[in-house]
Chains A and B, each alone.
Chain A
Amino acid sequence: MNALPQVQTPREGPAAGVASSEAIIASKAVGKIFGETVVALEDINATIRRGEFVSLIGPSGCGKSTFLRLVAGLTFPTSGTLDVLGQPMAGPRPEIGMMFQKPTLLAWKSVFENVMLPVTLAKKGRTSKADREKAIDLLHLVGLEGFEFSYPSQLSGGMQQRVALARLLNTGAEILLLDEPFGALDEFTRERLNVELLRIQREVKATILFVTHNIQEAVFLADKVFVMTPRPGRLAEVVDVDLPRPREIELMKDDTFNRRVFEIRDILGGTI
């Protein structure tokens, strides 16, 4: 029956009943300077709506990871205002979860215990049977049936990232920040995980910010692609990806898909 878990009920938000077009992340003239002189981000104006899938793309040093960390509350803007869920960012929040290029799994914990980590931390170790069942469900959702009690060292890189994804989902966050999560994987594994990420997003209905420097990946996944350019990090353009969902890998043969890819390549021009 209920084979796939209801990972989260999208919260009604501060203003209950607001339509899905509500801005969940609003960046107004956000800038970030490291030290005295290193301008990582300059004048970022962007709006992300609930349930949107946004890819951030650009060459190294364009500040895309910095922007993600601002939204995560791991660092703060030096100018401008960044509102998340209707409030100015003031540090990490339970509604926001993050995943990295490295799986960042704990080698001494089993896959199951790694996925349980967000709940273990939030509940100070007092987890319930329902929590444990949900972790198992999430592991099945990301396709790790049969590996629930393996250890990270026994898994391939792609499977380790699946564990990291299940752990991210188990935070219960409604905004998921993914920093080049599949960047270290081979092309085939990456494509398969891209398709599965879209399936999982349909399932959990989260808002996703996805950093990558692969243009095809960015277009394939996203509703909107934020194209960023470096020195200083700026948001050069927002490209709407008007392609239907659900998407399968064949979409990459589609004309519109390829037009979007080349459009982005043109914007980035010589910067890559």
Chain B
Amino acid sequence: MSVTDASAAGRAKAAPAIRFPLWAQHLLVFACFIAIWEAAVQFNWVSALILPSPFAVVGAWWDLAIVRGIIWSHFFVTLTEVLVGFAIGASFGVGIAVISAINPIFRRLVQPYMVALQVTPRIAIAPIIVAWLGFGMEPKIAIAAIICFFPMFINALTGLMQVDYENQEMFDSMRATKWQVFRHLQLPGAMPVIMAGFKTSISLALIGAIVGEFVSASEGIGVLIQRFSFQLLLPQAFASLIMLTFMGLVLYFMATFADRRIVYWQHEDLVARISKKARARHSDLLGKRSA
């Protein structure tokens, strides 16, 4: 080759001799992890009864998800509980935060209850909710909603209260109504903080739904994990757990997608694209001017 020895040596010093692409690095780490796990079971470092081998877990998953396909109904029960619970909890959280932000008297009056709710471990309410609402999806939805409520409320209130003083004066000097200030300044300004609460809450909703299922239920991934664990069917329990990881990832990507959509102005790439589109959309305004 035309590369001289000197330059090759120089490069070897500057960077490691072998460069893997990023995906290959991840694959390598994952393979090591699986290999150690498998070895631990194969060489009896850990009893297979306690820690099933990765292949046993994959086999159990294959059976539950593909051959018999029974895991999906449970998956969608839990997912529904999470999404509905989140929707309810988040709506109440943001709604009450909006009222609090607008009305200082209301804010003062509800504050003690919010603090009480904050300091109480909210999952402790799960058995009571089950006693009230029975064994269906309702109590899990309620628990998920209660758990998500608080971070959404706090974040929304914090966001709504942090209006910049000069921005407020600017709106005042334009004689904006209270509603216009809320609609054009306060709410959009609060959205980044609200969306941060969104990301926290959606994973909390999953915890809430699973706790509800642990307390009492006949359907859901939490039920499967509990049932398989009691029967010492640990490969199946792990396979169910992996479904929860998968659900968590789905929720995470949903939250990220929503964040990019709603607070687009905080993402450089999106801003560039949106401004280009707006320019094209308003070409009539620009075209006439430059003509």
Contacts and interface: CB of A to CB of B under 8 A. Distances in A.
A83 interface: no
A92 interface: yes
Nearest to B263: A108
B218 to A, nearest CB: 46
Interface string B1-44: 00000000000000000000000000000000000000000000
B184 A149 contact: no
A150 B275 contact: yes
Given A106-B185, A136-B285, A148-B286, A94 B175 contact: yes
Contacts of A140: 289
A63 to B, nearest CB: 17
B285 A100 contact: no
Contacts of A107: 265-266
Contacts of A149: 275-276, 278-279, 282
Nearest to A164: B170
A136 B274 contact: no
A104 B272 CA distance: 21
B275 A133 contact: no
A132 B278 CA distance: 13
A171 B175 CA distance: 11
Given A117-B184, A132-B285, A133-B285, A100 B275 contact: no
A51 interface: no
Contact of B184 (A102, A121, A133): A121
A98 B173 contact: yes
Given A106-B188, A153-B265, A92 B275 contact: no
A102 B166 contact: yes
B278 to A, nearest CB: 4
B174 interface: yes
Given A106-B184, A151-B265, A98 B282 contact: no
Interface size class of chain B, counting residues whose CB lies under 8 Å from the partner chain: 20 to 34
Interface string A142-163: 0000001111011000000000
Interface bracket on A = 35 or more
A97 B173 contact: yes
B287 to A, nearest CB: 11
B271 interface: yes
B172 A92 contact: yes
Interface in A137-189: 137, 140, 148-151, 153-154, 171
A74 B171 CA distance: 11
A201 interface: no
A99 to B, nearest CB: 8
Contact of A154 (B170, B189, B272, B288): B272
A118 B285 CA distance: 19
A72 B175 CA distance: 11
B114 interface: no
B169 A100 contact: yes
A73 B101 CA distance: 25
Contacts of B169: 69, 72, 74, 98, 100
Given A149-B275, A151-B265, A74 B172 contact: yes
Contacts of A154: 271-272, 275
Contacts of B174: 92, 97, 117-118, 121-122, 171
A89 B100 CA distance: 32
Contacts of A118: 174
A112 B173 contact: no
A258 interface: no
B265 A108 contact: yes
A110 interface: yes
A89 to B, nearest CB: 12
Give the 10 A-B CB pairs with smallest separation, nearest first.
A149-B278, A149-B279, A98-B173, A100-B166, A151-B271, A108-B265, A108-B188, A104-B170, A107-B265, A149-B275
Interface of B: 164, 166-167, 169-176, 180, 184-185, 188-189, 191, 263-266, 268, 271-272, 274-276, 278-279, 282, 285-286, 288-289
27 contacts: A73-B173, A92-B172, A92-B173, A92-B174, A93-B175, A97-B174, A100-B166, A100-B169, A100-B170, A101-B166, A102-B164, A104-B166, A104-B167, A106-B167, A106-B184, A107-B266, A108-B191, A108-B263, A112-B278, A117-B184, A121-B175, A149-B275, A151-B274, A151-B275, A153-B268, A153-B271, A154-B272
